[in-house]
């Protein structure tokens, strides 16, 4: 045993003599950090880096089998899922690793922002971090394209259509992105190159620079309210903190990084095992149009915003908002490079993060069930509840048939079933008089198409008769006061009939 | 642990090396070894020139997919015109004329053909004019609906509601020898709107002759 130990020492010394790496490694590991930074709040950066390494490893494993051609990519993913032993698990690790990485990078950014870590002298660390965030999102998008299924195909279409809005060079940009006139093999090759060579290369080098600066400039100290950052005094204050009240980075702070990173990788593995890999969904054959394209989780919020923007605002927002957002992030350390670091005294910072988090959560949630999209099969698969037609007149029943057959249900819910594009019609009779309904059905308006050309007068009458029965049992349908005055009924509002 | 008082971290080693280099360059300054410096500059200039020389073909290669729309489009036959019933809208797919052997099924491009008269057709691209998702045709309500953000179009392709700012894209079409042909090849977008080829005005679509509709038959 002692002999083996001696041999190992000899080998180590031989290597060290040539590599001379012990000094820098020791310096990096043992440099003193302020005691306050050995905190569970400071573990997200290292976790993001661990996830990046996991993605690199699982990505290389997948590339052993994946075939980056439009003709075979989808097939090779199915081979991975079903034929290669544990191929599904490696795909699941890569997919869930991606989700976790996007999430951890965002959390890391919020933490760094709230702790004022972007202030002097760490401005460049923040700027490099902004690019790391963009590249992480770039990896998420290009990765979705490599899962070459229907969502990938039409997702590319969405991306290209956004690019086509760029003035003057929009058309050229589309050709450049697609590698040709269409989404095709050339497009997949481009995105494969981006996902496997270009972005990972940049991502790894930028991450190295990022870590290098953290080592050189020191970890941001725990912000104390009232301890302001000044260019003239900060370095001295930081040195005092790290040397007078400091502990060596290893093991003082590093053990928390290790445990958290391990836990995150374990969480990825558990998710991969329990939930399995993502897709691939339907085959990337554009002539199969029975599909409801949707982007992956990190981009659902954009999908939602694109549904809600007024048409006139769309192009300006698509083209200008990302530039403003990125410029804002890059400018942040120059605008607020000094001063208060503590979130206790930065209400606007806290509000900004809270606002963005809530907005992001709401839009992402909306993106999961897309209330703005017609339900393409509602007209043929969602039945009219029986009690609506149970003791109805033939005309009302005919109206219910028209309601289904003309796809009204694709956009209008009844009893919580159907599309949500338009308003639910459970109590439409209390909101609109029959004449208003006729007018709306025939001429459309707002988000409703005009059905005038596609409905016969008899169909319109039947439909309106059916809609008129849609009101709560104890609530009168709406009626036209002026008509009432002049009608032969002489003043009595219509009786409560046809209640459900 | 290397303890230093003048800087946060072992960073100062770099600064020391820098100072050492300054001292060295004082001893062997540009004046002393001007020939070496000149040769170094010559080396940089040579590499710069070669770099520029290589950049030109690289950029040309990289941007080669950018071509005028007409380079990608050509007339594609959708089959005999009479296979499309009058007054109806049919989904059909054609093989994209611009393709590579490894494109797989992505060359099967769908489109909607609407026949409005004996020789009158409208051929709509599948892509919603909002963000390119595939619109679906509902003959009962005579509407196209988009599953992504709820764009809706009337039977003639005009915008009915939702976020699109225009109607469906239509491919230029003509009937030649009884065949319906469209001018297609690239995905239509807001910047790549399908339009007839420059030479289209030269094509003389003659009155139907007993032999067929081909204008080439004289």
Residue that terminates a domain, selected from A369, A389, A405: A369
What pLDDT score was predicted for residue B23? 56
Residue that terminates a domain, selected from A369, A404, A433: A369
- How many domains are contained in chain B? 2
Q: Does residue A107 belong to any structural domain of this protein?
A: yes
**The pLDDT of residue B207 is above 70:** no
d(CA A447, CA B145): 12
Residue with tokens 């040397």: A243
Looking at the complex, report in whole angstroms how far the Cα of residue A109 sits from the nearest Cα belonging to chain B.
24
Domain of A336 in residue numbering reads as 21-369
**The pLDDT of residue B25 is above 80:** no
pTM: 0.85
Q: Does residue B51 belong to any structural domain of this protein?
A: yes
B67 reaches A (C-beta below 8 A): yes
With an 8 Å Cβ cutoff, are B189 and A284 in contact?
no
- The number of helices, as runs of H, and strands, as runs of E, in chain B is 3, 11
Residue B60, Ramachandran bin (φ over 0: left; ψ between -120 and 50: alpha; else beta): alpha
Residue that terminates a domain, selected from A342, A369, A396: A369
What pLDDT score was predicted for residue A500? 46
What pLDDT score was predicted for residue B107? 92
Alpha helices in chain B (DSSP H): 12-27, 34-62, 69-72
Q: What ipTM describes this predicted complex?
A: 0.83
- Could you list the beta-strand ranges (E) of A368-484: none
Contact by Cβ (8 Å): B175, B213 = yes
**The pLDDT of residue B200 is above 60:** no
**The pLDDT of residue B91 is above 70:** yes
What pLDDT score was predicted for residue B54? 97
Residues A358, A285 share a domain: yes
Of B103, B109, B154, the CB nearest to A70: B103
Collect all residues of chain A within an 8 Å Cβ-Cβ radius of residue B155. Answer: 453
Residues B175, B122 share a domain: yes
What pLDDT score was predicted for residue A49? 96
pLDDT for B144-167, tens place per residue? 999 888 889 999 999 988 888 899
Domain of B178 in residue numbering reads as 69-127+169-217
**The pLDDT of residue B8 is above 50:** no
Pick from A103-117, A411-425, A471-485, B82-96: least confident: A471-485
Q: Does residue B143 belong to any structural domain of this protein?
A: no
Q: Does residue B79 belong to any structural domain of this protein?
A: yes
Q: Does residue B80 belong to any structural domain of this protein?
A: yes
Best interface-test mutation with A: which of B3, B4, B5, B8 has the largest number of A CBs within 10 A? B8
What pLDDT score was predicted for residue B20? 56
What pLDDT score was predicted for residue A382? 87
For position A59, which CATH number holds? 1.20.810.10
Q: Which residue of B has its CA nearest to A369?
A: B148
Residue with tokens 């919603």: B128
Residues B113, B16 share a domain: no
What pLDDT score was predicted for residue A499? 46
CB atoms within 10 A of CB A195: 22
With an 8 Å Cβ cutoff, are B140 and A181 in contact?
no
Burial of residue B62 (number of CB atoms within 10 Å: 0-12, 13-18, 19+): exposed
Looking at the complex, report in whole angstroms how far the Cα of residue B91 sits from the nearest Cα belonging to chain A.
9
Of B72, B145, B162, the CB nearest to A181: B72
Residues A359, A390 share a domain: no
Q: Which residue of B has its CA nearest to A153?
A: B106
């Amino acid at each position: 045993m002692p002999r083996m130990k001696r041999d190992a020492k000899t080998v180590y010394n031989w290597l060290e003599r040539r590599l001379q790496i012990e000094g820098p490694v020791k310096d990096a590991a043992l440099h003193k950090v302020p005691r306050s930074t050995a905190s569970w709040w400071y573990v997200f950066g290292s976790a993001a880096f661990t996830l990046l390494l996991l993605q690199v490893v699982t990505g290389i494993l997948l590339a052993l089998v994946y075939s980056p051609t439009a003709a075979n990519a989808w097939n090779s993913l199915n081979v991975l899922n079903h034929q290669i032993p544990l191929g599904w698990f490696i795909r699941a690790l890569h997919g869930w690793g991606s989700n976790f990485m996007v999430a951890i990078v965002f959390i890391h950014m919020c933490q760094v922002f709230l702790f004022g870590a972007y202030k002097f002298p760490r401005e460049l660390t923040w700027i490099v971090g902004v690019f790391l965030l963009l590249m992480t999102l770039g990896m998420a998008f290009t990765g979705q394209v490599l899962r070459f299924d229907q969502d990938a195909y039409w997702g590319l279409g969405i991306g290209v259509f956004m690019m086509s809005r760029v003035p003057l060079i929009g058309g050229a940009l589309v050709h450049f992105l697609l590698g040709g006139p269409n989404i095709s093999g050339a497009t997949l090759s481009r995105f494969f190159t981006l996902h496997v060579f270009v972005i990972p290369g940049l991502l790894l080098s930028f991450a190295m620079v990022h870590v290098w600066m953290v080592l050189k400039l020191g970890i941001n100290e725990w912000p104390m309210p009232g301890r302001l950052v000044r260019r003239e005094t900060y370095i001295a204050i930081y040195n005092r903190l790290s040397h007078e009240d400091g502990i060596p980075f290893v093991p003082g702070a590093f053990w928390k990084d290790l445990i958290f990173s391990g836990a995150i990788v374990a969480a990825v593995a558990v998710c991969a095992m329990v939930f399995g890999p993502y897709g691939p969904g339907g085959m990337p054959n554009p002539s199969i149009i029975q599909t409801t394209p949707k982007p992956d989780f990190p981009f659902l919020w954009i999908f939602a915003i694109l549904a809600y923007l007024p048409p006139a605002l769309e192009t300006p927002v698509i083209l200008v908002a990302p530039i403003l957002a990125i410029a804002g992030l890059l400018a942040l350390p120059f605008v607020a490079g000094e001063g208060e670091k503590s979130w206790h005294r930065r209400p606007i910072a806290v509000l900004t993060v809270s606002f963005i988090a809530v907005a992001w959560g709401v839009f992402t949630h909306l993106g999961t069930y897309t209330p703005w999209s017609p339900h393409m099969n509602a007209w043929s698969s969602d039945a009219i509840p029986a009690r609506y037609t149970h003791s109805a007149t033939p005309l009302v029943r005919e109206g219910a048939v028209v309601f289904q057959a003309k796809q009204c249900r694709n956009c209008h819910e009844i009893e919580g079933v159907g599309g949500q594009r338009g308003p639910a019609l459970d109590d439409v009779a209390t909101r609109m008089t029959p004449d208003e309904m006729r007018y709306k059905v025939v001429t459309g308006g707002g988000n409703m198409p005009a059905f005038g050309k596609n409905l016969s007068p008899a169909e319109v009458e039947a439909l309106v008769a059916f809609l008129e029965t849609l009101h709560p049992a104890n609530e009168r349908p709406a009626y036209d006061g002026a008509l009432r005055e002049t009608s032969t009924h002489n003043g009595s509002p219509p009786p409560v009939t046809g209640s459900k | 642990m290397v303890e230093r008082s003048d800087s946060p971290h072992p960073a100062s080693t770099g600064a020391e090396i820098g100072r050492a280099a300054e001292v060295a360059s004082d001893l062997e300054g540009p004046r002393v070894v001007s020939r070496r410096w000149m040769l170094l500059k010559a080396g940089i200039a040579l590499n710069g020139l070669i770099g520029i020389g290589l950049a030109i073909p690289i950029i040309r290669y990289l941007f080669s997919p950018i071509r005028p729309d007409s380079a990608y489009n050509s007339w594609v036959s959708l089959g005999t015109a009479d296979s499309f019933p009058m007054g109806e809208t049919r989904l059909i797919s054609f093989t994209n004329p611009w393709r590579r052997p490894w494109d797989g099924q992505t060359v099967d491009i769908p489109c909607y053909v609407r026949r409005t008269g004996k020789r009158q057709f409208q051929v709509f691209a599948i892509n919603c004019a909002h963000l390119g998702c595939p619109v679906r045709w509902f003959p009962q309500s005579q509407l196209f609906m988009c599953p992504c953000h709820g764009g809706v179009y009337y039977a003639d392709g005009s915008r009915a509601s939702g976020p699109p700012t225009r109607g469906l894209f239509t491919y230029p079409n003509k009937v030649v020898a009884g065949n319906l042909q469209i001018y297609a090849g690239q995905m239509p977008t807001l910047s790549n709107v399908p339009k007839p080829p420059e030479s289209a005005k030269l094509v003389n679509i003659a009155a139907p002759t007993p032999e067929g509709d081909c204008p080439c038959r004289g």
